[in-house]
């Protein structure tokens, strides 16, 4: 990726593009790549000088010496120096964008200076380079500015960072480095989505805190990614502590998700498989859709990002669209990851309606385009309770791999759910008549079954014996009115739609076959 950036930038410079803006927060890495490009030009017999401007130091040359006897810290003086410089040169301006805003007092003068400078620089082998983490171009200059994105480091660059951290750790006699080739590959994969500086910080933190480096330091990398997510202000990092063993039933969905996990590996790429795109979980409320999203991230050992679409919308013109793009960019930067959009129909409510000024439609269009064209390994898990509120274009193939319908649990699934909740509260299932409770809870959702256990525990706690009995569970089940009775017509309509449009998350009466530990290890190895 860095080679592509250098080649593209070199073409623009040789073609005498007057102003080029590099969008990146990695100043040091960008400077290294620019220096590499200038060395290539020097080898080719066409050297040019480099001047770097910052508001704190003004213009300095490649040796950090002032470019002029005059104070070039003011932006207008730096541009005047560039206009009067007669030799071939590259002028690198860092964080120049704040001075071109409408709110900046001298913005009008700077824009006029730049527009006067553009014709002079064309064909002169003098170029202005803007380096900034934000892309902000005044409308007057949009036709004259070329944008180049500096991509995140490639796998080879991450490997160099890991090897440098290993070398630093080995230099300390008290440090222990336990890194084979598989461990290096695992950490390199975990680093994807971080800047080089962020990857270095995470690895050196692991070296200092653990007095060495090992495969389990992947968690340090994930912690660094969590910080990136939190700083976005839109996405929320969610701890994925549940795995598939904590979800009763849904055997079809679990098997499908385990297959998709293997699709993230390089062997899958070589086989011709694309990265898994995502899944929509539609169904009765309280049947484990959100829990599945958390379990996927835990099972796959990937960060879980919760995307609240309601946070995207803002009052200023264009800000909502920018927030959507920023949120999706953060998700791509921490990939591979799981992006969880809970109750998606509520976040997209109002699209195309009488009250929609066009903002919701544009935001939704940005999301749709990204879901179809994304190349980063971001697996989307979207959940919905009311399918009628979802736009039909969201449900077509190409944006999501599959739509699963999560129905009320059948008898075997209810028994498994009850067992999970009892064991989670340190109760042995053999002490209770589970078949009787299962028969009494026909039509209960997973959330309602959990409430049966919790309510029964309260009853048991208030009893003289303070011991949970089957009678408490049965009594609690009789007291609860399930959604399947209170909203029977709505659930039946949803089932009829799902029979035509969805794949079933569970097949009635089908046993759940959990893979053995060897199969799980193979899946994890393929993921790494």
Whether 175 and 145 map to the same domain: the answer is no
Whether 103 and 194 map to the same domain: the answer is no
**Residue where a domain terminates, one of 406, 434, 458:** 406
Q: Give a yes or no: residue 475 inside a domain.
A: yes
Cα 285 to Cα 113, 291, 402, 491: the distances in Å are 61, 12, 19, 10
Q: Give a yes or no: residue 293 inside a domain.
A: yes
Identify the CA nearest to 333 among candidates 528, 155, 194, 233.
194
Whether 39 and 163 map to the same domain: the answer is no
pLDDT of residue 314: 62
Q: Give a yes or no: residue 262 inside a domain.
A: yes
Q: Give a yes or no: residue 418 inside a domain.
A: yes
pLDDT of residue 76: 96
Whether 337 and 449 map to the same domain: the answer is no
- Kindly give, in sequence order, each residue whose CB lies less than 8 Å from that of residue 247, ignoring residues fewer than 6 positions away: 254, 288, 291, 292, 295, 420
pTM of the prediction? 0.65
Structure tokens at 347: 């976040």
What does the longest C-alpha to C-alpha distance in the chain come to?
Answer: 95
Q: Give a yes or no: residue 326 inside a domain.
A: yes
CATH of the domain at 302: 3.40.50.300
Q: Give the domain range for residue 453.
A: 411-486
Whether 112 and 19 map to the same domain: the answer is yes
Whether 248 and 227 map to the same domain: the answer is no
Q: Give a yes or no: residue 289 inside a domain.
A: yes
pLDDT digits (tens, 9 = 90+) for 342-391: 888 877 765 655 445 567 778 888 888 899 888 888 999 999 887 777 77
Strand partners, 503: 404
pLDDT digits (tens, 9 = 90+) for 136-156: 899 999 999 999 988 888 888
Mean pLDDT of the chain: 85
**Residue where a domain terminates, one of 350, 380, 406:** 406
Cα 360 to Cα 112, 399, 470: the distances in Å are 36, 19, 51
pLDDT of residue 350: 57
Would the pLDDT of 206 be above 70?
yes
pLDDT digits (tens, 9 = 90+) for 277-291: 999 999 888 888 888
Whether 86 and 45 map to the same domain: the answer is yes
Q: Residues 426-447, buried b or exposed e (16+ Cβ, 10 A)?
A: ebeeeebebeebbebbeebbbb
Cβ atoms 490, 385 nearer than 8 A? no
Q: How confident is the model at residue 512 (pLDDT cuts 50, 70, 90)?
A: very low
Whether 99 and 49 map to the same domain: the answer is yes
Q: Give a yes or no: residue 197 inside a domain.
A: yes
Whether 380 and 437 map to the same domain: the answer is no
Whether 271 and 179 map to the same domain: the answer is no
SS3 (DSSP) at 403: strand
Domain tally, the chain: 4
Q: How confident is the model at residue 460 (pLDDT cuts 50, 70, 90)?
A: very high
Whether 257 and 225 map to the same domain: the answer is no
Whether 216 and 249 map to the same domain: the answer is no
Cβ atoms 278, 316 nearer than 8 A? no
Q: For 182, how many CA atoms within 13 A lie in the half-sphere containing its CB?
A: 6
**Residue where a domain terminates, one of 406, 427, 446:** 406
Q: How confident is the model at residue 392 (pLDDT cuts 50, 70, 90)?
A: confident
pLDDT digits (tens, 9 = 90+) for 468-511: 999 999 999 999 999 999 989 988 888 888 888 888 988 765 54
Would the pLDDT of 513 be above 50?
no
pLDDT of residue 1: 58
Q: Most confidently modeled of 270-274, 431-435, 513-517? A: 431-435
């Amino acid at each position: 990726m860095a080679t592509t950036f250098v080649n593209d930038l070199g073409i623009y410079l040789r073609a005498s593009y007057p102003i080029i803006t590099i969008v990146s927060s990695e100043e040091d890495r960008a400077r290294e790549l620019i220096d590499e490009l200038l060395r290539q030009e020097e080898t080719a017999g066409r050297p040019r000088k480099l001047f770097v401007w910052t508001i704190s130091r003004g213009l300095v040359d490649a040796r950090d010496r002032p470019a002029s006897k005059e104070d070039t810290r003011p932006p207008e003086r730096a541009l005047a120096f560039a206009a009067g410089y007669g030799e071939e040169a590259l002028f690198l301006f860092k964080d120049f964008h704040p001075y071109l805003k409408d709110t900046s007092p001298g913005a009008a003068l700077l824009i006029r200076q730049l527009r006067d400078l553009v014709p002079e620089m064309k064909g002169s082998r003098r170029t202005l380079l803007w380096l900034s983490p934000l892309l902000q171009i005044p409308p007057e200059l949009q036709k004259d500015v070329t944008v180049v994105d500096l991509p995140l480091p490639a796998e080879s660059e991450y490997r160099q960072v890991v090897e440098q951290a290993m070398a630093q750790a080995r230099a300390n006699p008290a440090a222990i480095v336990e890194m084979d080739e598989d461990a290096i590959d695992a950490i390199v994969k975990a680093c994807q989505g971080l800047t080089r500086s962020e990857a270095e910080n995470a690895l050196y933190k692991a070296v200092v805190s653990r007095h060495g480096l090992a495969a389990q330091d992947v968690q340090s990398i994930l912690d660094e990614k969590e910080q990136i997510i939190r700083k976005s202000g839109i996405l929320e990092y969610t701890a994925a502590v549940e795995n598939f063993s904590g979800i009763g039933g849904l055997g079809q969905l679990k098997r499908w998700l385990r297959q998709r996990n293997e699709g993230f590996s390089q062997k899958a790429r070589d086989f011709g498989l694309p990265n898994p795109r995502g899944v929509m979980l539609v169904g009765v409320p309280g049947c484990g859709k959100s829990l599945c999203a958390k379990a996927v991230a835990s099972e796959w050992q990937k960060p879980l990002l919760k995307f609240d679409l309601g946070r995207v919308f803002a009052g200023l013109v264009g800000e909502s669209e920018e927030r959507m793009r920023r949120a999706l960019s953060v998700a791509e930067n921490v990939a591979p990851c799981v992006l969880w959009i809970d109750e998606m129909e509520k976040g997209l409510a109002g699209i195309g309606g009488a009250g929609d000024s066009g903002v919701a439609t544009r935001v939704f269009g940005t999301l749709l385009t990204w879901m179809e064209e994304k190349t980063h390994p971001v697996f989307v898990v979207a959940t919905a309770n009311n399918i009628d509120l979802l736009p039909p274009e969201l449900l077509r193939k190409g944006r999501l791999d599959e739509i699963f319908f999560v129905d009320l649990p059948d008898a075997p699934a209810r028994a498994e759910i009850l067992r999970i909740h009892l064991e989670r509260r340190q109760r042995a299932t053999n002490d209770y008549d589970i078949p009787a409770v299962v028969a009494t809870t026909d039509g209960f959702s997973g959330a309602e079954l959990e409430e049966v256990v919790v309510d029964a525990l309260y009853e048991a706690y208030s009893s003289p014996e303070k011991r949970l009995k089957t009678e408490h569970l049965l009594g609690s089940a009789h007291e609860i009115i399930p959604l399947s009775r209170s909203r029977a017509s709505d659930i039946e309509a949803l089932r009829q739609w799902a029979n035509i449009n969805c794949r079933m998350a569970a097949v009635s009466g089908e046993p759940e076959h959990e893979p053995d530990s060897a199969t799980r290890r193979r899946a994890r190895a393929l993921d790494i």
